[in-house]
Amino acid sequence: MTTIDPADTAAAPDHALARRVTDVLQPRNVLLVGMLAIGLAAAGEWTGLLWGLLGALCAGIVPAGYIEWERGRGTWGDRHVVDRTKRAPIFFVILGSIGAGSAVMVLGGAPTGILAAMLALWAMTVVLLAVNTVWKISVDASVASAVVALLAAVHSPWWLCAYAMAAAVSWSRVALGYHTVGQVTAGTALGAATAAAFLFV
């Protein structure tokens, strides 16, 4: 007769919830919503949504598409790319994509706020790439934190309440065993620091 450890049955719902949180609040989705809101605030009118969509495309959707393409080739098992030594190509794609998007924004006369957000995300990615060479800092936590911090900078400090969402992302990454508490804490701190770009705008 097979016995079931009560601890396993208790952990199963938490694991399922963590999986749902990490999938729903993955960087691609957070950036799509966040960059649209940042673009709208930066422009002060609906045209900012177009700049925000460009930002979301370059910062989130293109990198996510690249990951899915590599998954199809069998390079990685899933979007999480748990082996940090294999993550460098992703960061270079992000840097190239954000760089290209920023260039288009400059040429197109995009609002300063959305351009500053793009450059802040580019700088954050440089740091993620550097740290990743020696330590598996959490990208998901960094992105969630950065989007909240940037929204607070361009919209209202009330957006800082959305750090509850960033905390949920961090919890899910630890619960699923992808990161340690230290790695998500460092990612969250790095994301928050991206809002410093607006001190110079």
pLDDT tens digits for range 11-60 = 556 889 999 999 999 999 999 999 999 999 999 999 999 999 999 999 99
- The answer to pTM > 0.85 is yes
For residue 182, pLDDT over 60 is answered with yes
Which whole number is the average pLDDT over 152-161? Answer: 91
The per-residue pLDDT of the chain, averaged, comes to 90
Q: 2: exposed, middle or buried (C-beta count within 10 Å: 0-12, 13-18, 19+)?
A: exposed
Residue 4 pLDDT: 37
pLDDT tens digits for range 85-110 = 888 999 999 999 999 999 999 999 99
What secondary structure letter does DSSP report for 79? T
Residue 71: phi and psi, rounded to 5, are -60, -40
Residue 13 pLDDT: 67
pLDDT tens digits for range 121-154 = 999 999 999 999 999 999 999 999 999 999 999 8
| Residue 90 host element (H or E) | helix 88-108
- The residue whose two tokens read 């705008």 is 201
Listed residue (132, 127, 113) closest to 55, CA to CA: 113
DSSP line for 152-199: HHHT-GGGGGGHHHHHHHHHHHHHTTSS-HHHHHHHHHHHHHGGGGGG
Phi-psi region of 97 (alpha: psi -120 to 50; beta: other; left: phi over 0): alpha
**77-109 burial, b if ≥16 CB within 10 A, otherwise e?**
eebbbeebeebeebbebbbebbeebbeebeeee
